[in-house]
A and B are shown apart, each in its own frame.
Chain A
Amino acid sequence: MAANPMYQFNVYRIGPEIKIGEIDLSFTNASLFMVISSLAILIIFNLGAQKKNIIPDKIQLLSELSYTFVSKMISDTAGTKAKPYFSFIFSLFMFVLFCNMFGMIPYSFTVTSHIIVTFVLAAFIFIGVTIIGFIKHGFGYLKLFVPSGVPAVLLPLIVVIEIISYLSRPISLSVRLFANMMAGHTMMKVFGGFVVSLGIVGGWLPLSFSVALTGLEILVAFLQAYVFAILTCIYLNDALNLHH
């Protein structure tokens, strides 16, 4: 393995090259880890949903706890109107969480440390929320850009500012997840490199740092999935309830 701390983010092809026109559709290590996380989610939650014991076993408890966790998060931030979107937010939260957590396994690949992955997720949410807003409120949704009680002179400037603020949502959503994951994993690799280069004499200090960082990174992995989901709820709340 190369000592370069950025080497872990390399995307390489697995299996044959598939090309449709100019677009490269080959199966890569990134796709492999997305498939692994999705399969893990499917298997765990199917197993958890099958048994309906009154006293749950571990897997049933896990799935029931995560169900109530997400359900409570949605009703707290977006209200009861957001109930129909539960399945989407639940899948989103679980996908990001599992991608982050699988990235914590040594020698694995962190899908969410690539900005294109997080940006596609965020752009999907952004477009979806905008469409929902227009369906629910028609052109009245544009009132989101015109706050009440603003003098007419300032209105053009305020509208431009509001539009920029609205457009910055998918950027901040995706950059936050990507930057946290990439910075954390790079830092872990750098400290790991210190352990090797300082050897048995001086390597103990960076090793202890590495252990602490691993704990912190697991916390960040969970937290970023949580923040991603809760911001989706907040945006959904803006679209459904329309008040600023």
Chain B
Amino acid sequence: MGKEQLKDRLKNARKKLKIEKENPQTSNFGQAFKLSTELVAAVLVGTIIGFILDNWFDTKPWLIIIFFFVGVVAGILNVIRSAKKLQN
């Protein structure tokens, strides 16, 4: 194997390594999984808080409705935040 050939192969290998470093496959895949539950969890927490507060203050069904929508907003906020993290 000539010296030039070896240099070329080294260069190619370094380039490949750099590409792999910049786009870690597992990490992206993992973060894609992450987004789905983010929304559901916040809606769930909002609804549960609304339900508990309704039982406390005897205001059925108003607080559960309000907190459901607040939960939706929080869920969308969560998704946007993780999407922003994904971009960086």
A is bound by B: yes
Grouping DSSP codes into helix (H, G, I), strand (E, B) and loop, the B interface class, with mixed when no group exceeds half, is: helix
Cβ-Cβ contact count across A and B, 8 Å cutoff: 66
A230 at the interface (CB under 8 A from B): yes
CB < 8 Å neighbour of B37 from A160, A165, A176, A230: A176
A165 near B77 with CB under 8 A, answer yes
Given A165-B74, A168-B45: A175 in contact with B37 (beta carbons within 8 A): yes
B41 near A227 with CB under 8 A, answer no
Please indicate the chain B residues that have their CB under 8 angstroms from the CB of A176 in the complex. 33-34, 36-37
A223 near B37 with CB under 8 A, answer no
B37 near A164 with CB under 8 A, answer no
B73 near A161 with CB under 8 A, answer yes
B70 near A168 with CB under 8 A, answer no
A227 near B78 with CB under 8 A, answer no
Q: How far is the CA of A177 from the CA of B41 in the complex (A)?
A: 13
Please indicate the chain A residues that have their CB under 8 angstroms from the CB of B26 in the complex. 222-223, 226
Grouping DSSP codes into helix (H, G, I), strand (E, B) and loop, the A interface class, with mixed when no group exceeds half, is: helix
Please indicate the chain B residues that have their CB under 8 angstroms from the CB of A223 in the complex. 26, 29-30, 33
State how many residues of chain B have any CB contact under 8 Å with chain A.
26
CB < 8 Å neighbour of A172 from B29, B38, B85: B38
State how many residues of chain A have any CB contact under 8 Å with chain B.
23
Encoded as 1 (CB less than 8 Å from any B CB) or 0, chain A from 156 to 200 comes to: 010011101101110110011001100000000000000000000
CB < 8 Å neighbour of A227 from B30, B42, B46: B30
Please indicate the chain A residues that have their CB under 8 angstroms from the CB of B67 in the complex. 164
Given A161-B73, A161-B74: A168 in contact with B42 (beta carbons within 8 A): yes
Encoded as 1 (CB less than 8 Å from any A CB) or 0, chain B from 60 to 88 comes to: 00000001001101110110000001000
B41 near A171 with CB under 8 A, answer yes
CB distance from B7 to the nearest CB of A (A): 28
A168 near B30 with CB under 8 A, answer no
Q: How far is the CA of A175 from the CA of B46 in the complex (A)?
A: 16
A171 near B74 with CB under 8 A, answer no
Closest to A171 in B: B41
Please indicate the chain B residues that have their CB under 8 angstroms from the CB of A160 in the complex. 70
Encoded as 1 (CB less than 8 Å from any A CB) or 0, chain B from 27 to 58 comes to: 10111011011101110111001000000000
For this complex, 16 residue pairs linking A to B, each with C-beta atoms less than 8 Å apart, are: A160-B70, A162-B74, A164-B46, A164-B67, A167-B45, A168-B41, A169-B41, A172-B42, A176-B36, A222-B26, A223-B26, A226-B26, A227-B34, A230-B27, A230-B30, A231-B34
